[in-house]
Amino acid sequence: MALCLLFMSIFFGQAHAAHSQEVEVSVEATEARIEGVDFAISDFTRFNKGSAREYQGTYFGYRYPMAAKNAFAVVVVSESKALVYVPSGSGLDIASSEATASFEALLEAIDARASNGGITLSNNSLTYEYTSETSVVEGGYRYEFGVQLEPGYYYTCIYDEQGNDASSGALFSESGLLVSAQSLSISKQPEGFEAFRAFLTSIDFRPFWVSLRTSVVAMLFVFVLGLLAAWFSQRISNRFKDILDSILTIPMVLPPTVCGFLLLVAFGNSTALGQWLLSMNIELIFSWPAAVIAAIVVSFPLMYRTARGAFEGLDPSLGDAARTLGWSERHIFFKLTMPLSWPSIAAGTVLAFARAMGEFGATLFVAGNYPGVTQTMPIAIYFEWMGGHSDVATFWVFVVILFSFVVILFVNRYAARTQRYRKLGSDSGEGAVKR
């Protein structure tokens, strides 16, 4: 319950702030109005990033999209100053302090909802500079508004004095339309648990299912390969055992990005293995199988080390006694070694599964970020946060934390139960000796 309350306070605190200013903001954070004010904001969009790419071989500066040719544009040029372009005939008198104050209240309320945890306009030290000119020079940069590139698409373009990339001329940009408040219909903003329910219905749960499917398939391979590697390491000389152990364990200590880079080098299209896979019509890189391979590599050492420790902890005389009874090595492994080592193996399996579920760096390197295909929960957290959707990123953080807690709790409970049974067995054995 405490987590739910904290979760709701994070997501909906900004909405309450908007209500305290008597500003109505739509659920989608695209419209806003104030009771008693003739104008309102519609088709609002916030752009945290722009583009500096050339269009048809011509450089148009660092540009942000605008809602329309007659749209207003706000360029936050620094943490203390915002340049506001309001086209003539839009219905806002930029010479009226009362009108601009209402506009700023609308703008800050809708921005607080659209920022998703980013820098907001609600800063007491922020000053607004208004203009109706389509070209303005400010702080060594030229700002041009309503620049049309493709037919029907308009932009705010920023140039430096040399005409080069001028991305540092703005922190972010916003645009929208000024419309009549009477013509605007704003849907009621849900509150409390209703708002929480509406948020959950808007979540794309595909990252969870991709993570689960990837981890389950990876765990099937890791379980078998880890047991085989641990069993084989017990049957080679100590000289080669140390070398083999180092090779099999090194993914545990390497940064995940290094593992991903090595996998990319190994399976890339320019390598012999990559070329062979392509000749077999197998495109491995940036596919779901690549995500599975990344999960196998990073989680394998946990399974291998746990299984090896369990095998080494067994009394060798038990195996010798079984051989004197005519048991084969296969029979000894499945009927003696596995049952005695199972508590540790089960714990290692669960930990390796959790490690595969939480993999990020290697997966991003070799599988990329494709929603519904390779986008796992850790990758979704990163890109949702980078895209300004900190509420969605926080949700996935809670899911990962909750899942990790359940895994650790399961391992601890299982270990405690196993120790209790062993203790009971030991006590009964001592009683039998005494009798």
Return the CA Rg of the chain.
Answer: 31
User: Which domains, from first to last, does the chain contain?
Assistant: 2-198 (no CATH), 206-434 (1.10.3720.10)
CB of 127 within 8 A of CB of 82?
yes
Dist CA 115 CA 171 (whole Å):
12
- How far from each other are the two terminal CA atoms of the chain, in whole angstroms? 54
The secondary structure of residue 51, as a DSSP letter, is: B
CB atoms under 10 Å from CB of 263, counted, come to 22
- Distance of alpha carbon 147 from alpha carbon 165, whole angstroms: 17
Q: Which two tokens stand for residue 193?
A: 């648990």
On the 0-12 / 13-18 / 19+ scale of CB atoms within 10 A, 376 is buried
What is the number of H-type helices and E-type strands within the chain? 14, 11
d(CA 99, CA 196): 35
Enter the tokens of residue 146.
Answer: 């309503």
Place of tokens 């030991």: 426
Q: Count how many Cα atoms sit within 13 Å of the Cα of residue 303 in the half-sphere of its side chain.
A: 27
Q: Which of 429, 391, 405, 427 is nearest to 6 (CA)?
A: 391
pLDDT in tens, the chain (435 residues): 334 444 444 444 444 333 334 888 887 888 999 988 999 999 999 998 888 888 888 888 899 999 999 999 999 998 889 999 999 888 899 999 999 999 999 999 999 888 866 788 886 678 999 999 999 998 889 999 999 988 889 999 999 877 566 788 889 999 999 999 888 877 666 777 877 787 788 888 999 999 999 999 999 999 999 999 998 888 887 778 888 888 999 998 899 989 999 998 888 877 788 788 878 888 888 889 999 999 999 999 999 999 998 888 888 888 888 888 888 888 888 888 888 888 888 888 888 998 999 899 999 989 989 889 999 999 999 988 877 678 888 999 999 999 888 888 887 787 677 666 555 555 554 444 444
Give yes or no for a contact between 34 and 102, defined as CB atoms under 8 angstroms apart: yes
Q: Residues, the chain, total?
A: 435
Closest alpha carbon to 44 in 113, 98, 121, 124 = 113
| DSSP symbol at 176 | E
Work out the angle at residue 406's Cα, subtended by the Cα atoms of residues 403 and 408, and round it to the nearest 5 degrees: 110
**CA distance readout (Å), 260 to 268, 368, 394:** 11, 11, 25
Distance CA 198, CA 116 (A): 16
Q: Smallest Cα–Cα separation from 306: which of 241, 256, 248?
A: 248
User: Residue 420: what pLDDT?
Assistant: 65
Q: What is the bridge-based pairing of β-strands 135-138 and 141-148?
A: antiparallel
Residue for token pair 């203790």? 423
Q: What is the Cα–Cα distance from 157 to 264, expressed in whole angstroms? A: 38
Copy the structure tokens of residue 182: 């009477």
